[in-house]
A = this chain, B = another copy of it.
Amino acid sequence: MDSSKILIRPYIRKVQFYETDQMGIVHHSNYIRWFEEARVDFMEQMGYGYDRATESGVDVAVLEANCKYISMVRFGESVEIAARISKLTQTRMTVEYEIRDSESSVLRSSGYTNHCYISRAKGSPIALGRELPELYSLFERCVQSC
């Protein structure tokens, strides 16, 4: 079994016009969506798309989301979002994020999301290694300590 580290590249994202608000900056709620986009991209790079997890009957539910807004993001800019799994257990996962301007690398935001795994059939939390061992061991190969 392969247990080598998997390296995930940051996710690049153009700011959309409809994401701005009347302050002339990206509305803060969109960063939570960008975190999700980065997670989905992360799993795709890892070789196990989130759509495949949901088709296997497992949802990666969000238990908590946290976002610090450090500097403003505007239309016309692009951001790069680095996501990393900082904690992983059979029942929980923490993903941490850093959003930077893709040109200047200035830090725009940092945050994290906490997750559990839900079986659609049972409607309740599950141990991921038992339900989807391949996905769990891929996640394990992505865990990074600070």
Contact = CB atoms under 8 A, between A and B. Distances in A.
Interface of A: 16-18, 20-25, 27-30, 32-33, 36-37, 40, 49-51, 54, 59, 61-69, 75-76
Copy tally for this chain in the complex stands at 4
14 contacts: A16-B37, A17-B22, A17-B50, A21-B22, A22-B22, A23-B61, A28-B62, A28-B65, A29-B32, A32-B65, A49-B76, A50-B76, A64-B67, A65-B66
Nearest to A52: B76
Contacts of A37: 16
A49 B22 CA distance: 16
Q: Ordered nearest first, which 7 A-B pairs have the shortest CB separation?
A: A51-B76, A20-B22, A29-B32, A28-B62, A66-B66, A22-B24, A64-B68
A23 B59 contact: yes
Contact of A33 (B18, B54, B64): B18
Contacts of A20: 21-22
A21 B17 CA distance: 7
B29 A16 contact: no
B75 A51 contact: yes
Given A51-B76, A69-B62, A33 B16 contact: yes
